[in-house]
Amino acid sequence: MNLEILKPEVQKYIQENLNTDVNKIALTKSPFKSVTSKELSIQINSKKKAEKKLPTWFNSKNIYFPESLSIEQTSSEKTARYKSKLAIGETLIDLTAGFGVDSFYFSKVIKKVTSCEINSELAEITKHNFTTLGAKNIQILNTDGVSFLESTSVKFDTIYLDPARRSGSAKVFMLKDCTPNIVADLDFLLTKTQRIMLKTAPLLDLKAGLKELKNVREIHIVSTKNECKELIWVIESKTPVDTKIICTTINHSQKEFSFILGTENLAIEFLNKTPSNYLYEPDVALLKSGAFNLIAKEYKLEKLENQSQLYHSEEINEDFAGRIFKVETIFTLQDFKKEKNISGNIIVRNFPEKPEILAKKHKIKQNNHQFYIFTKTQKDGYIVIKAIILQHY
């Protein structure tokens, strides 16, 4: 960590060059004797990446940024804030602190946070930033988190970890292949806490995760703008009676859809109906849960067809976590071929052709307000629904 970077003139240069090509800066002679061009390019590049993801860090003075990979791998402020509400008790240990975003938000609700980071430079950066941000109740330890727990008799009310999902240069998808190995360490960790909060990649299959873990009380599927950001597994020392799935969408407002695992496979009746006034497209968090029929039941909707994962109703339900469209016209494929001067966004659900093929085939121009949904219904088979959007993700 080069403290010269924090000098006012260097910070001013970084701020003024946020829109400058960082590759050009890296190849140009530095205007400062004690700060290299490479260091300047790293600060500028990482700060730019933090602008929307980490606005608190971006907008605060004298923040020191690490390599951009640390920014890419860290939680966003939105998801970190959400996770902070899942912690319990007065003490928490973050075993894999990284850039410290999760630790920072835990410190807002937990009396004492211990933050472990094995990378010495990143630990130093995080410690500086916590001081700058006024987080006084976080203890930074430059150590392996699991090793620290093994060496201390102290127990914590909550343990949080976000295992590294890489082995060398390759990504890994099984929990046992991550670092630390939560599968191998789980029994030990449960002797040190009441609650474990485990963050995993959104690609992890829920059933596969449940096979590798035990005592899972809750699985939180968290998304923003229809992008599944992370899965949070809440594991407790006492075996829970049930496992609850909680789908949370964090956009302009926060919405939740939850159920007890095992209740999602209920049978529903497919009515022989043409789509009603309003069409519903679930957020990716709901789709990740696999509770396709339960979505219809809980929101009082009807499903278009078994494989379409689209729903409809006569009345609008604004509590729905996903997009809502007002149906204008419904075309058979034969009738749609006769349409001229078509413009709109194309959505394909349970339809044999891709959007780019359909756009070319029907000469559909881009229009962000009009939508054409190519799908299949139980009654009419393949159809095209012309609609306008009423609710975004």
Q: Starting at the edge strand that comes first in sequence, how are the strands of the sheet with 322-332 ordered?
A: 302-303, 311-313, 278-282, 322-332, 381-391, 370-377, 345-348
What is the predicted pLDDT for the residue at 310? 95
What is the predicted pLDDT for the residue at 267? 80
- Position 13: which residue type? Y
pLDDT digits (tens, 9 = 90+) for 1-26: 999 999 999 999 999 999 999 999 99
Residue 381: left if φ>0, alpha if ψ -120 to 50, beta else—which one?
A: left
What is the predicted pLDDT for the residue at 169? 58
Considering only the C-alpha atoms of the chain, give the largest distance between any 2 of them, rounded to a whole number of Å: 75
Query: Which token pair is 334?
Result: 């034969």
Residue 277's φ and ψ, nearest 5 degrees, are -65, -35
3-class SS string, 94-123: ECCCCCCHHHHHHCCCCCEEEEECCCHHHH
What is the predicted pLDDT for the residue at 170? 67
Q: What domains sit in the chain, N to C, each tagged with a CATH number? A: 3-71 (1.10.10.1110), 74-241 (3.40.50.150), 278-391 (no CATH)
Neighbouring C-beta atoms of residue 129, cutoff 10 Å: 22
Distance CA(69)–CA(145), nearest Å, equals 21
What is the predicted pLDDT for the residue at 63? 98
Q: Which residues of the chain have pLDDT under 50?
A: none
Distance CA(129)–CA(126), nearest Å, equals 5
User: Which residues contact residue 204 at a Cβ distance below 8 angstroms, ignoring those fewer than 6 apart?
Assistant: 173, 175, 231
Residue whose pair of structure tokens reads 């392996």 in the numeric block: 144
